[in-house]
């Protein structure tokens, strides 16, 4: 019984000492200034304060069945940048998507002007 009391006392004392040391360590850490936070966000080291509540991130995460954590947010941000870059550099998709807005007259003029491009040429026949 005496050894059990000693063991419990040592464990509790160790836990209290550990809790005290971690709180002192956390208090002594310098707080990040707003300027440093802005710099970290600009250099993509830190996440913005409201990263968990972005609607686009929530939809992206739910569609891929991913948890809400900093790693998945960085994947979302990289995916969003990739999609923006893809649409920015490729004008053919933009051209083809804009053809949906053409009127019937414009389509008729286009087909008449480029009718040779739309002919079917089977293989082996000249």
- For the chain, the domains span 2-27+47-117
Enter the pTM of the model.
0.39
Helix ranges (H only) for 1-126 are 2-28, 34-42, 55-64, 70-89, 91-98, 104-113
> If pLDDT is split at 50, 70 and 90, which confidence band does 65 have?
very high
The conformational region for residue 58 under phi > 0 = left, psi -120 to 50 = alpha, else beta, is alpha
Question: Is residue 108's pLDDT more than 70?
Answer: yes
Element (H, E) at 47: none
> What is the SS3 assignment for 83?
helix
As a whole number, mean pLDDT of residues 26-51 equals: 71
């Amino acid at each position: 019984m005496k050894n059990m009391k000693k063991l419990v006392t040592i464990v509790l004392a160790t836990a209290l000492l550990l809790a005290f040391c971690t709180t002192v360590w956390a208090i002594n850490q310098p707080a990040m200034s707003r300027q440093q936070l802005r710099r970290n966000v600009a250099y993509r080291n830190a996440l913005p304060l409201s990263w968990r509540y972005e609607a686009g991130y929530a939809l992206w995460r739910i569609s891929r069945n991913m948890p809400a954590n900093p790693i998945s947010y960085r994947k979302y941000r990289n995916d969003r940048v990739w999609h923006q870059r893809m649409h920015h550099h490729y004008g053919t998709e933009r051209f083809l998507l804009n053809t949906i807005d053409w009127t019937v007259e414009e389509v008729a003029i286009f087909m008449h002007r480029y009718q040779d491009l739309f002919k079917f040429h089977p293989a082996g026949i000249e």
